[in-house]
Amino acid sequence: MSLIDHTHDPLARSWVASANADDTDFPIQNLPFGRFRRAGTGEDWRLGVAIGDQILDLKLAVGAGPWDLRWSSPLQRLLEVLALGDLNVFMALSAAERRSVRHGLFAGLREGSLGEAALQSCLVPQAVAEMSLPCFIGDYTDFYTGIHHATTVGKLFRPDNPLLPNYKWVPIGYHGRVSSIGVSGSTVRRPLGQLKAPDSEVPVLAPCKRLDYELELAAFVAGGNALGEPISMAKADDHLFGVTLLNDWSARDIQAWEYQPLGPFLAKNFGSTISPWIVTMDALEPFRVPFAHPEGDPQPLPYIDSAKNRSEGGYDIDLEVWLQTAAMREKGEPATRLMRSNFKHAYWTLAQMLTHHASNGCNLQPGDLMGTGTQSGPEAGEGGSMLELSQGGKQAMTLPNGEQRTFLLDGDTVILRAHTARPGTRRIGFGDCAATITPAPSSIS
């Protein structure tokens, strides 16, 4: 059953004027959730909804109610959950309850709403807001669903066998590190690690020399499951809350030495960055697309297959990576785009990732994070990492100002961006996911 409703009407407008701009990431059809406070105030963190260049402070908004004809006691009780400032509690509500809150917020912010006078004073300009992680993240799993990334990287190390036999049968993933996840606008320190040159007999501890970004999306889990109880494909969508951008930074030279036989460790756990706004699955409903493995590839096993997943399991989301070097920033030059791709090329869907994750009885919890893996496109120049764009460091990229890069240098700012824009829909975006590289520590004492 289609979940597209009046909140997706591309002609709907908001009384918040900036939400009606053609290029805004946050029109009234989006309404993503984030956690913020007014910069420099030291006030408690609170939940908000992005609308144009403003944030609707949900604590203030609930206190200003009732502010629309849709207001009711059940709606007020649900909004009061958000007013408390704990998004994980809201995530644990049923999909129907979460959707009713979306409807209520849409009604209050829509042009002509009776709530305009009450809600005007509940707006905070995004320009004066400080953002944090949107919720408590209990666990983080990173998948490897970008087949074009997996193939290109595999060819660098295994030219005759780029994809291992299990790739087309099972959504591959590894357990990541929650404590080092940061929000957009932060810095990432270049890590120290063991490096071993091919012609050296022993490794050395030194700053990473091949620091890289990875262009990913990340899905937040909504209601979880009890330990030992799998989640079926039929119920997977109800267990997904929303999506952010994710930069899963990688130290490629540390990774090359340490990853066998147990996979990523210190090359990955030093930092991951997410965008501050969670775009809900409800907002993404108009951007679903059919999903299928290529003809001749193995078809998914029954437990990660369904008619709905085949007909609309994918999402049409445009993805981009931008880079601003320290020299560009000093001269006031804008960031330059390095590449673009689309999430519709992923080899596994969000529903398959979640269902497979819980298929052995693993208990997922509200706020758990699932990264999609690097989302590269099928064409040359659509690599979602510098490892791909520089062909393993063999071919430097020349930037518009003449600088060259094979991997990231200190002072580089990497910005991930994403938006959806299909005919007959309103463009929605995710907001920037940006972070700047700072130098490694001089030593470990």
State pLDDT tens for residues 276-333: 999 999 999 999 999 999 999 999 999 999 999 999 999 999 999 999 999 999 999 9
Mean pLDDT in runs of 10 for the chain (445 residues)? 90 98 97 96 95 97 80 86 96 96 95 93 97 97 90 80 85 92 97 92 95 98 96 97 98 90 89 98 97 95 97 98 98 97 97 97 97 94 95 95 98 98 94 98 83
10/414 Cα distance (integer angstroms): 31
Is 303 among the annotated ligand-binding positions? no
Residue 261 confidence (pLDDT): 82
CA distances from 414 to 36, 80, 140, 169, 249 (A): 22, 37, 22, 33, 10
Look at the domain 6-131 and name its fold: SH3 type barrels. (2.30.30)
Residue 255 marked in a binding site: yes
pLDDT at 72: 78
Query: CA dist 7 to 12, 234, 242, 278, 312, Å?
Result: 8, 24, 16, 17, 19
pLDDT at 1: 60
SS3 content of the chain, % helix, strand, coil (to 5): 25, 25, 50
Closest CA to 154 of 172, 176, 177: 172
Residue 144 marked in a binding site: yes
pLDDT at res. 416: 98
Same fold, 6-131 and 140-438: no
- For the domain 140-438, what is the CATH code? 3.90.850.10
User: Whole-angstrom Cα distance, residue 374 to residue 188?
Assistant: 19
Which three-class secondary structure string do you get for 37-97? EECCCCCCCEEEEEECCEEEEHHHHHHCCCCCCCCCHHHHHHHHHHHCCCHHHHHCCCHHH
Could you tell me if residue 199 is left (phi over 0), alpha (psi between -120 and 50 degrees) or otherwise beta?
Answer: alpha
Break the chain into its structural domains and give their ranges.
6-131, 140-438
Tell me: is residue 372 an annotated ligand-binding position: no
Query: Looking at the annotation, which residues are catalytic?
Result: 149
259 among annotated binding-site residues? yes
Has 280 been labeled as part of a binding site? no
- The answer to whether the predicted template modeling score (pTM) of the entire model surpasses 0.85 is yes
